[in-house]
Amino acid sequence: MAEWLVSTDLDGTLLNHHSYAFEAVLPVVARLKEAGVPLLLNSSKTLAELRAWRETFHLSDPIIAENGGIVAQSTQSVRYLGTARTHILSLIHAWRAQKGWLFEGFADWTLEQVIEQTGLDPQAAQASMQRDVTEPIIWLGSPPGLVEFQAFLAQNQLQLQKGGRFYHVMAPHDKASALKQLQPDYPNRKILALGDGGNDRAMLAMADIAVVMPNAQGDYLQLEPQNNPQIIYHAPQQAPVGWAQAVSHFIFQEAL
Ligand SMILES: [Mg+2]
């Protein structure tokens, strides 16, 4: 049996997009742990949120938070690979005031508004507001304005990545660039990656097996075939059941 490493998105992939349900994955997560297969939570979520999920899943593997902007080996060792959010906010808020661009983000919202935007419970919403290197926003202006906004970001070594719910303003890192930093710790392991959104594209592209989960509309992210022999699998069922089925099949050779 091949030695595997699993890197997974959370929202809409491991957790149901609407209800955040995850119970169906628990037996499979336990089996991965038993088999010594590292399971890396690799998400746009914050370190505080992912630490809570790591506890829920009884995992001790590294965490990749805020779209590859933070790598946390353990509570003692945290590497910040992104640009400080305070810097990001000072730039985008100044442009908004000057240009009248219409967008809102986590920095503008109260706890109640974050709960409304995300559907998270108060404790999780609080953890989602503890951001270090990314700012999730919703664009309320025109599409050409968004293009102009992106050009300004690029001039300042920043970018916009599309997640399941928000655009994320951040430095040019992603889930794959952070995963590559951890890869030397797992020599000779093949990568099974699971995701559903645009911010999963690079991570899925570098995987030996890419499991694409259906998004909230039931559509699949389209991936370009890679050079390496790669399996691209469209999970027929949404999270969490689709995740459990795909991992059971590809890691434990169970029938789909
Ligand atoms: Mg997602």
Tens digits of per-residue pLDDT, 69-127? Answer: 999 987 679 999 999 999 999 999 999 999 999 999 999 999 999 999 999 999 999 99
- Its CATH architecture, for the domain 4-80+174-252, is 3-Layer(aba) Sandwich (3.40)
164 CA → ligand 1 middle, Å:
5
Question: What 3-state DSSP class applies to 72?
Answer: strand
pLDDT score of 181:
95
List the beta bridge partners of residue 210. 193, 232
- Ligand 1 centroid–CA 49 distance in Å is 14
> What's the rounded mean pLDDT across residues 148-175?
94
Average pLDDT over all residues of the chain: 94
From ligand 1's centre to the CA of 9, what distance in Å?
Answer: 6
Residue 155 confidence class, pLDDT cut points 50, 70, 90:
very high
> Is the alpha carbon torsion for 83, 86, 87, 90 positive or negative?
positive
Structure letter (DSSP) for residue 24: G
Strand, coil or helix: 144: helix
Query: For residue 137, which phi and psi values (nearest 5 degrees)?
Result: -130, 160
Express each pLDDT in 54-76 by its tens digit: 999 999 999 999 999 999 987 67
The residues facing 136 across adjacent strands are: 168
Would you call the peptide bond into 240 cis, given omega within 30 degrees of 0 as the criterion? yes
Alpha carbon of 98 to ligand 1 centroid (Å): 33
The domain ranges of the chain are 4-80+174-252, 85-170
Q: How far is the CA of 246 from the centre of ligand 1 (A)?
A: 16
Residue 162 alpha carbon to ligand 1 centre in Å? 10
CATH 3.30.980.20, applies to 85-170: yes
Q: Give the Å distance between the CA of 97 and the centre of ligand 1.
A: 31
Q: Tell me the CA–centroid distance for residue 43 and ligand 1, in Å.
A: 8
Residues with Cβ–ion distance below 5 A, ligand 1: 9, 11-12, 164, 196-197
CA of 82 to the centre of ligand 1 (A): 20
Mean pLDDT of 15-42: 96
253 alpha carbon – ligand 1 mean position (Å) = 25
Put the strands of the sheet holding 159-162 in their side by side order. Answer: 103-105, 135-139, 167-170, 159-162
Q: For residue 220, what is the DSSP state?
A: -
Distance from residue 104's CA to the centre of ligand 1 (Å):
20
